Structure 1
């Protein structure tokens, strides 16, 4: 994670953006809780600003070629799943999400993804990543299971996604985290499972910069 938004303070809003190839596929407003040695801790409660690509029938766009992604509308709505405390560790190919239902901790979600790249432009700051689709669901007792393996296999080797070698690295990162969960090591050791930040208002997606700005690594390569 670059130091683009390194001056962020608790309570500020950033946007987590996910790309498929050069195309923005999802944006998620998040409120900064704190920055620690473990990374950037974010709060994404129900009602937060959220946008994602949608198929013509309104369903989420998942197993679609890159050319279909380019044509799909990015629909703005709100986060509706669970309240989420999210850790984005610097330079690591994942983020870890703590799921809460009305304040009760339900388990962890490990999103396997490209290491986040930070950026800042005016009053807007963000973190850009590429979702590797393969995820882990980790129960409070540390047991875990893979999620979206079919989608991961479908994307591997296709243009705009990842190679077979890159897929092996993604799965290796997931296996490392599964071992940490089984052993009860951080972040699966109870840290932040009782955190209370629900007094923070849901963050929103403001303006159009989050929608129009190219991916951070594209701008860095052109500099």
Structure 2
């Protein structure tokens, strides 16, 4: 069953996903995530960094071989340990909180980009991240690894943007996207109110449906010869400018 969790349909069916390596397991256990099973290499034993955390946890410990761990994980070099973790329960309470600041991903398909944006959103103090339809699965092993544990630090919600974005607007939240035709730069725009920041697909940007709902557009100015930033880099620039305005002015 554990190896099957590398496949989305089995993750969906079982409501569980794989967390690989010492650091991610530490983050999961420290955050109080529901870790069902921890599997470790019999030759190396339970890593020292996890000993105390596992004494306090109520998860099953399974000792196995390096070959079995390699089959159950998605990395070229298998980790010494991995965990089977229950998917998160939907918690939308942070989305419409007073002065909420939320990152919305619309069709972002690369797991590295999604993981990096979640990590940046965590670092910049965003209230939540929303993954709309068309985004890569949050529980894809590459996505999970790319978050470096940040998926355990803030609410991440997979939802249908066609219903969620209009609901945000009904709560007085402004929807902000990027555009090369925008007259406001990300530095002149006022990020201090309730804002949802929309980031679109790597090739095509925001969907037409999302674009129709966007209230404001901003542009990231560039002084050098580069034509563009990838979505994770652009999102990080916007997140840190929003953090600066909201917390450091």
Name the TM tier (shorter chain). Answer: under 0.3
Give the structure with the higher percent helix.
2
TM-score (norm 1): 0.24
Give the structure with the higher percent strand.
1
Query: Considering only CA atoms, is the larger Rg found in Structure 1 or Structure 2?
Result: 2
